Amino acid sequence: MHKLTFEKHQPKYIGQDMMEFLANAKFEDLSAEVVTRAKHVVMDGVAVMLAGRKTREMFGTTWDHMAPSGDVTPVGCKFRTTAAMAAFLNALHAQTHDYNDGLNNSGMMGGSYHPGRTVVSTALAVGEKVHASGKDILLAVVLGIEAAARMRNPAHKSTVADSYASAVTAAKLMGADAKQFRSACAMAAFLTPGEYTKAPGWRADATDHKAANPTSNVIKYAYLNRSGVEAAELALLGYEGNGLADNNAISTRYNTCGLGKDYQCMEMYFKPWPCCRKVHGGIDAALTLKNEYGVTAEDIEAIRVFQQTTGMYVNTPFTTATDINYGGQFSLQYNIACVFLDGNVELRHYRWPDRKAPQKYVDFGKKISVIADNGLDGHNAISPNHAIVEADLKNGKTLSVYCQYPLGAEPNGMTEEQFVAKLRTCAEDMTEAEKDALVKWILTLDEVVAL
């Protein structure tokens, strides 16, 4: 007969597996594939920060006057400030255009929709402050994305996930232990700004308080970054946060969820066009009509875009009164007009001097209708971004193109050459030599001794 023995059970605190994983993770744990993806995440993050910085300079909304003096340079800026304020400005610029990366399905489950605007912004700011190595930066980016995807808010609001991600990224670079990680995350959640009158999507023609305001949307993520850095700083000084709330994502069952094996950065998508991802299927199909079938703007009588039902918030007609700087990024009609009138969708299409689209885009946009098609939802209504663009031509013919996987979404991901091209396009104030140096620095980041 076997003798039964009993051991005293020491219960784990909520999230202990996650906090211990974050504290113990090393760069050497990462596969070559994960390291390469981390470099691409950094490259994409730097690109969108540079693009946003340029746009804010053009429109006189840089926020530079708010920055206290310090020893960290925000990306694309010529002054130095604190790490927390640099993270604030980096995120402000990264969120200016809807050009940032994304996590497949994460946001709909309470995680972060776009982790790069948080983790890359924070990693570069805090990394410069602590003179981190390139390997430290890459590891912090990977772990920040783990937090962005896995540490979800039970209320299914991604805001807290972004706070966790910023705090985790900063705390890793500061050398936090498991207890300090827990406190950093708890305080970051405590400091998180709440949702304020935000409706799904954004209506370019809205004048009431129910629409998501483009200014507050951008500022929110800037404050999340700053709060995350400050929470990490407090934790490293010995301040303790409250315990984390229980939910299936950060419970003690975490080690059954692929933690340390299935890195969430491998589940990301990237954007070749500076607008909402839900527009990309339509753009890709329209480009096929133009480039492969030779359809010109003059050939077209009418266009119908069949869109996933979950993506109908980009059914945004526009007028000459629309603030195209933000509203155009969420308008299928506007972006498809840009494709046929100019051959592509570029940053310049959201930078008109008066922030209003010229009349020719408005006139062409009137030819375009968007139709909800639940047949495109399939088994997964969130991703990929299916779309059908159907064009009635003046010669009586009708052409139709179906796009299932727009460029940037697996299995049609961007190549390294396309990441580099995006960065070079966004780094428009740099010389060619400076662009070359920046690209080389990012691609060899694991060889950089200290920032």
Stretch among 168-177, 333-342, 350-359 having the lowest mean pLDDT: 350-359
Q: Do strands 387-393 and 398-403 pair parallel, antiparallel, or not at all (unpaired)?
A: antiparallel
Which run of H or E residues covers position 370? strand 368-372
Report whether pLDDT(21) > 50: yes
CA R_g for the chain: 23
Nearest to 269 by CA among 260, 258, 277: 277
101 vs 45: CA distance, rounded Å: 8
The pTM for the full model equals: 0.92
Higher pLDDT, 243 or 144: 144
Report whether pLDDT(429) > 70: yes
Nearest to 399 by CA among 295, 274, 277: 295
Mean pLDDT for 233-238 is 97
Helix residue ranges, H only, 6-82 = 16-24, 32-59
Model confidence at 214, pLDDT cuts 50, 70, 90, reads low
Maximum separation of any 2 CA atoms in the chain, in Å: 90
The per-residue pLDDT of the chain, averaged, comes to 88
**pLDDT number for residue 215:** 62
Mean pLDDT for 8-13 is 63
Report whether pLDDT(227) > 50: yes
Distances 258 to 18, 38, 345, 364 between C-alpha atoms, Å: 11, 18, 38, 49
Q: What is the pLDDT of residues 88-103, one digit of tens each?
A: 999 999 999 999 999 8
